[in-house]
Copies of this chain bind each other. A is one copy, B any other.
């Protein structure tokens, strides 16, 4: 077997031509999405008012293990992929660990994160269906940026409802989206009924992700030839992200790398679900006993301290009900700089895998996360996004255990993106003013009281 180079880039021919559908491998499937009004399973017809038909098909597909990627999407992937699998030699040396550490780096594109894979797929299908514009919401801005790039590529209009405080605090993110030709509307806005209602009641509000989702949904439904797109949580998004895992698996097989532990950060679950896809599929089929660890912020601990229950995906309680680990749709996490992980719930697929014991979860404090981020930047060169740094911390903790036990384990973690637009958070860490906040049990209980009552679940 050939010795692995420092950075493993697959060739275009080696890049996967299919997505891996975890659900088709799962013995028990995640519970069905429910219509909150009827508590009956959502129908394809209902969902197609909101999402493109092909995405709805994918959302309901529990049987096909592999789904071919259309050429029009592969062509886009070729413009910025493959993403490398990199050996963290310097980090290993710094930690003085016998462990081998690798990271799959998804930040080698201007959107700066892994989000582009699903953005491209969703916009491609919209275009194919004759849709002329899409709407979405963005908080941290990585999803909005990725979507703006994809919309520029496929030439489709984009309206991004950006949480007003984020638009104000992150004018650069907003400006990137605009440079790609997307329109950014600070939310709440006067462009939707729900926005106008909130503005009338709370004229000075800085907005929330929940409100931005509600506005983006309303705008999509009311406009002709328009659909709503979402960057995480849903099954079709996890499906598109499975390329992260498939590229990792192919690179490992090519160079004889045998991972013992896979680690990813978890917010809505899209990067994590994608990274682990082929590895958890093997585990379900009894072909491996690999350890799979999701790392989440202690300030928003949906897996480690949430309830496995039906809940809304948004604060405004307008979405279908999803069975997932949740802190309650009314739970407002304290400020955490990893905006992409500040979500009260979790992907139903990831939730079910966790519930069934295939994966582990761990909650970490943000000052430790930034300590890990800084160590990684100084040793490996790349300045990580705060979200990604949760996975770095997880990997460092496992590597340090190896140092103590002398075990030579192989650890792979997902580096989802770069931190170029998160320097305010780094400044807070560098100046020593960053604080941790771990919710009390009482605070969490308050979130749980609002969970919808779904008999039997």
Contacts and interface: CB of A to CB of B under 8 A. Distances in A.
A255 interface: no
B426 A179 contact: yes
A66 interface: no
A175 interface: yes
A135 B110 CA distance: 31
A385 to B, nearest CB: 11
Contacts of A181: 378
A187 B153 CA distance: 43
Interface stretch (A5-13, A204-212, A299-307, A323-331): A5-13
Contact of A153 (B90, B108, B171, B430): B90
Interface string A374-413: 1001111111000000000000000000000000000000
Given A6-B12, A90-B153, A418-B110, A80 B381 contact: yes
A108 B11 CA distance: 18
Contact of A79 (B6, B378, B420): B6
A166 to B, nearest CB: 15
B430 A178 contact: yes
B79 A381 contact: yes
A58 interface: no
A377 B379 CA distance: 30
A111 B426 CA distance: 16
Copies in the complex: 2
Interface residues of A, number: 43
Nearest to A81: B7
A454 interface: no
A378 B426 contact: no
A115 B101 CA distance: 28
Contacts of A78: 5-7
Interface of A: 5-7, 9, 11-12, 78-80, 89-90, 108-112, 149, 152-153, 171-172, 175-176, 178-181, 374, 377-383, 418, 420-421, 423-424, 426-427, 430
Given A5-B11, A110-B381, A110-B382, 4 more contacts: A6-B78, A149-B381, A176-B383, A180-B378
